[in-house]
């Protein structure tokens, strides 16, 4: 599929240098990868961000041994039965595996995605050639050709290809730069709208499910820690929760280590684990347990409220989290099942590559949302 899209992109570009519909994925600035590099380093991994191939591990090392020397060269992925050792590129996402933790690599890729901007359709005549590259797929030219039954962009590319090989004339609207530009912009808007609609649908059905099936002691993983909140991902259901800390943070009982990406709760009486006063600690990519349920937020004129998904951290403890569902004041702990889409870039609506759209970001509040797609969205 990728080879077909790349080949067709090159073909239409040769015939229509300024009128080809392509898809670009801008390369993130190195500073945008700071959250990924820092979080990975905190758990003992150095991630290389020199380029997309080094990051993803698209290259492999083929090493041969001779007396007193080892010679290595980079090659494409090789068949499983290749007679010589094929090693993962050090520092790549492919090589970042933690024994006994099958979900660790997925968490890294989610964080990586949030460091990127979304891919976009564009007309070749409106961007410099240096800006055509698709970073996520590590290719200088890319388009959408293989799925005309579900994407209008592919239909447009089929028409361009038909004109390029002399099967049909080029449609009048595609022969104008302004027409193709407007078409590309509209497809970007529609694609974004479709993503938001899909996420809203997931959010609605998440509420409906947890209304009748609350989850107790559900395993979750920490995506990020902050001085006043912890962001967790629940793999079984594919939802994310932002757990805002309560009074303990205000009282100075929560210690945040930005370099180690940890949050720890100290006991007010000095008693705790090992006599050091620590009663709970979480670290990025670590496993925790949460409780997921549906509650009601706010009260309207008719006495009814809005159903929201609530995620509470149950283990390890990080202080009391309010559970009163009747009030809607600023100390109310609530969870909003809201679609992601705001924030920085990422392969889905980035955010990667940045973060997801915030929910109710008030003291003691929790927001739950569907998890983002993997990096390198096509």
Confidence at 319, pLDDT banded by 50, 70, 90: low
Q: Is the pLDDT of residue 233 over 70?
A: yes
The domains located in the chain, with CATH, are 2-28+116-199 (no CATH), 214-370 (2.40.50.140)
State pLDDT tens for residues 136-195: 888 999 999 999 999 999 999 999 999 999 999 999 989 999 999 999 999 999 999 999
Who has greater pLDDT, 188 or 68? 188
Give the pLDDT score at 67: 52
What is the token pair recorded at 373?
A: 């797609």
Q: Please write the tens of the pLDDT for every residue from 245-257.
A: 776 665 667 788 8
């Amino acid at each position: 599929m990728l080879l077909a899209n790349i080949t067709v992109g090159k073909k239409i570009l040769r015939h229509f240098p300024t009128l080809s519909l392509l898809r670009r994925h801008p390369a993130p600035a190195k500073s945008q990868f700071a959250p990924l590099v820092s979080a990975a380093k905190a758990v003992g991994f150095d991630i290389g961000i020199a380029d997309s191939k080094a990051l993803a591990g698209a290259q492999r090392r083929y090493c041969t041994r001779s007396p007193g020397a080892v010679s290595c060269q980079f090659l494409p992925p090789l068949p499983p039965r290749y007679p010589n050792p094929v090693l993962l590129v050090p520092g790549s996402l492919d090589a970042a595996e933690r024994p006994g933790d099958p979900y660790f690599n997925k968490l890294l890729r989610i964080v990586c995605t949030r460091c990127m901007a979304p891919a976009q359709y564009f007309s070749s005549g409106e961007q410099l050639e240096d800006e055509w590259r698709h970073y996520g797929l590590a290719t200088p030219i890319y388009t959408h050709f293989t799925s005309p039954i579900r994407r209008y962009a592919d239909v447009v590319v089929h028409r361009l290809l038909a004109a390029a090989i002399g099967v049909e004339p080029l449609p009048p609207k595609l022969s104008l730069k302004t027409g193709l530009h407007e078409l590309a912009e509209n497809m970007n808007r529609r694609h974004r709208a479709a993503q938001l609609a899909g996420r809203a649908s997931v959010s609605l059905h998440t509420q409906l499910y947890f209304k009748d099936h609350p989850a107790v002691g559900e395993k979750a993983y920490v995506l990020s820690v902050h001085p006043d909140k912890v962001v967790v991902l629940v793999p079984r259901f594919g939802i994310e929760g932002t757990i805002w800390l309560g009074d303990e943070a205000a009282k100075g009982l929560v210690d945040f280590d930005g370099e180690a990406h940890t949050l720890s709760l100290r006991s007010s009486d000095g008693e705790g684990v090992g006599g050091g006063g620590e009663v709970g600690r979480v670290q990025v990519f670590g496993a925790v347990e949460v409780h997921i349920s549906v509650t009601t937020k706010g009260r309207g004129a008719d006495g009814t409220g809005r159903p929201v998904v609530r995620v509470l951290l149950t283990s390890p403890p990080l202080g009391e989290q309010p559970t009163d569902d009747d009030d809607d004041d600023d100390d109310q702990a609530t969870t909003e099942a809201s679609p992601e889409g705001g924030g920085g870039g990422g392969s889905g609506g980035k955010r990667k590559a940045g973060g997801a759209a915030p929910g109710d970001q008030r003291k003691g509040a929790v927001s739950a949302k569907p998890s983002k797609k993997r990096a390198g969205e096509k």
